[in-house]
Amino acid sequence: MLMKNVVLGFYAILISASVLGQVETPQEELSEVFLSGTRLMIPFDEDSRSITIISKETIEASPAQSLPDLLQQVAGVDIRRRGAMGTQADLYIRGGSFDQTLLLIDGIKLDDAQTGHHTLNAALPLHLIERIEIIKGPAARIYGQNAFTGAINIVTKSRFESGVEVALSTGSYDQINAGATAYQSGDNASHMVHFSRNTSRGYRYNTDYDQSNYAFKSVFNKPGQQPWHLLGTFSERAFGANGFYASPAATDQYEHTQTSVLGISTAVNLGRVTLQPRVYWRRNQDEYIYLRNDPTVYRNLHMTNKMAAEVNGTLESGWGSTGFGLDMAQTYLSSNNLGQRSRFATTLFVEHRMRFFNQSLDVIPGVAVTNFSDFGSYAYPGIDLGWAPLDQWRIYANTGLTYRIPTYTDLFYSDPTTIGDADLSPEEAFSWEIGSRFNAGNVSWTGAWFQRDSKNLIDYVKPTPEDLWQAANVRGLLTQGWETDIDWSFAFLGKSQKLHLSYTHIKDDLDVATEELSKYVINSFKDRAVSTWNSDWDAQWSHTMVWKYGQRASGEVFRVFDLAINYRRPSFELKASIENLLGEDYSETNLVPMPKGAIFVGMRYHLN
């Protein structure tokens, strides 16, 4: 409690003192940032959606050790981790489920037909990421059905100089992280190759892990020619899963996953028409063992392969900009529990941008239509509206209809206590939001009010305690809320400071079937606050403090404080991080306790 009061008091002193020496801290030019993987190339500051950009500088300064840790600092994003170092984590946006959020890498969709539990399996090491683009709200019209509540796109680095980078860190619970990245840059092409491995004995019984990451990226025809981008990643994770699934009493569970991605894309400029074709393959393998030392008791092995081809395009005309696209994906599943399954999906996209009143008013209607070989066809219409009364200020609104096809786990999973339902219907929702964005150089602010009316939500129910849990479409859920973000750059005693404050409030009204017992529990954040302060001491030294507060619908409350101290030279970086400095006792999902503090010290050396 004392440490928390000291930190909050320090914040207050800095804010009051900043009026003595405000400075214009260089900001990323938002007019030059375009969302990746979209058809209409709209600058970030002209987009009529709730969008957050996490820059490379923010990533480097953060105490976060993994992508799940980093995303926890974003308003409206709920990462529910099981264990440390992002070993297993689920991704939620604005109170949705982990099956309702889409993750992408360089525009490649990483959805898994088996289950949304594997969304973050392909998460890359943070230093390979150029920026992260987060769209909150219905994004199915842009990306397809899995973007039910939003989408997150990881943009990998594509500009680098020749050299080798070596990283090594160690920390609590015998954690050792080591990696190497080689860069080669020529006149016509550049290449990156990466390998890293992270190991730990775990912070409690059966929470050890062994993670390996491999990645390569090549960019060909750099100087004004037709570009080609080739990306490949492979992530392997083996970990003890004490209480991760089933119940907290299941202390000897074990899981081993492998996820790979391979994609190639290009862009073709035909005058008024621009085409962006892409082909990719994603594979995920998931082995689950109930008793780690005796796989014969209960074992699941699932393998999912998705092969996809897509082309996105833009047509410029006197009527405005028209975006169009075609996406085809074939999915195969092989599982000892879920069976042998396949699905072919075709999605057509079209949207049109119109601008009025000296381009201050922006209107973008659009629709996506998907046909599933096993579920039929569904349409996702929507419209975005934006008005910029001033150059620094934008008011926007958007609305859309979306669906989510059940996963194979929803449809066919069975174990001694649970059974799926092959006759499930898709979930559906009608969403809207109203927001505003203001940017005055050293101060920026965003705020939004949102609502999502969901129907046919999939739950697991049973008439009596003795029966099996049965998957069924039994719920309706009205989710309402608001969120706000403030970024402030200023000077204190002549040193550059950056302060970020965010707050999210969500209210869920759930239809309850009183005649049945329910396994589905709405446990989103009722209130969520994040405060980040980054301070430069001098040209080499800086620190970042992150304070996170959350109260879930169940009443659980936690306050977590993280700290990072950074030292940078042209060819050398040193970072010390402390997670959960106040020793908070809390869990994020399934009653899995999180570590009560951890310390990490690492270095990164650049050899040119």
Q: Where are the alpha helices (DSSP H) in 398-440?
A: 408-412
Whole-model pTM: value is 0.92
Residue with tokens 């300064």: 61
Three-class SS of residue 381? strand
Per-residue pLDDT band for 523 (boundaries 50, 70, 90) equals confident
Nearest alpha carbon to residue 337 among 282, 292, 290, 293:
290
**Rounded average pLDDT over 262-281:** 95
Q: Give pLDDT tens digits for 531-571.
A: 999 999 988 999 999 999 999 988 889 999 999 999 999 89
pLDDT bin (cut points 50, 70, 90) of residue 591 is: confident
Complete domains list, the chain, with CATH:
2-607 (2.40.170.20)
* SS3 assignment, position 100: helix
Are 272 and 309 in contact, with CB atoms under 8 Å apart? no
**Residue 32: pLDDT band by 50, 70, 90 thresholds?**
low
Is 209:83 a contact under the CB 8 Å cutoff? yes
- HEC profile for 119-140? HHHHCCCHHHEEEEEEEECCCH
Q: Residue range 482-502: average pLDDT?
A: 93
How many whole angstroms separate alpha carbon 519 and alpha carbon 469?
8
Residue 16, pLDDT above cutoff 50? no
Give CA–CA dist 49/395, Å, rounded.
10
pLDDT average, residue stretch 225-230? 90
Give the confidence band of 608 by pLDDT, cuts at 50, 70, 90: confident
**Per-residue pLDDT at 22 exceeds 60:** no
The total number of residues shown for the chain amounts to 608
- Find the mean pLDDT for residues 180-196: 94
